[in-house]
Structure 1
Amino acid sequence: MEQKGVITDRGVLPRHFEHVVGNRGRHESVWDLKQHLYSERKIEMTPSVKADYGYANCRLESEERLLTAVYMAAFFREGFDEMELHAHCLQGHTLEYVEQFENLTKERTKLKRLMKNSHSA
């Protein structure tokens, strides 16, 4: 696993590694979101990602690009945690979590509409 970059030379596993591989093929939609964001060939988005993270609310391609840019930026911020994002998503508070890492004042109204999901009040 060290040769493949899964374990560092200090023997440290990536954050949430055991959680992800220990779920026997089942995982939270945040991992599909991350895979979509990081994929060079932009793999097809799963229905759960579309529903949970606001892509189903997009009417325009520019709205999809906005969501992608916001999520990408947040994923790279220090302190960002995929499982925390997912927990906030399940509470209908995706925007509130992402705002901790990104200044979204300019696009907040639009993002509030886009990031609304079935878990939102």
Structure 2
Amino acid sequence: MENAEVSAQSEPSSTTEIEGICNEDRNNTARIKRKRRKTSSAACECDGGVGEGLAEEKFDVKRRIVALQKIVPGSEGLPMDKLFEETAEYIASLKRRVQVLRFLCAIADGEQRKSGG
């Protein structure tokens, strides 16, 4: 995952670099889709007759995990450790997309200024 981490400050400097980022993003998306699994109750073991406060806390954690699984593509039914890994990779992927969009906006803005518009 070290290769997937991208600094938020660095901007792609060329079209080749953008194409590389887009290809990497497509590969990650395809890999995530291949990893889809059926939803299972083993994703979070929050059952038990513990004290009421603890039970509420566990329910809250489970609710948040379910919400996270709905947001991160391909994460339904993953165990928590894998869910967090997928979440980190998904965040890195979104950062790369933002970088590409910022770069494209900068190019469009530069071309618009050159044409006097």
TM over 0.5: no
TM-score (structure 2 length as normaliser) = 0.26
The structure with more helix, counted as a fraction of residues: 2
TM-score, normalised by the number of residues in structure 1: 0.26
Indicate the structure whose relative CO is greater, using CA pairs within 8 Å and at least 6 residues apart: 2
Q: Which of 1 and 2 has greater Rg?
A: 2
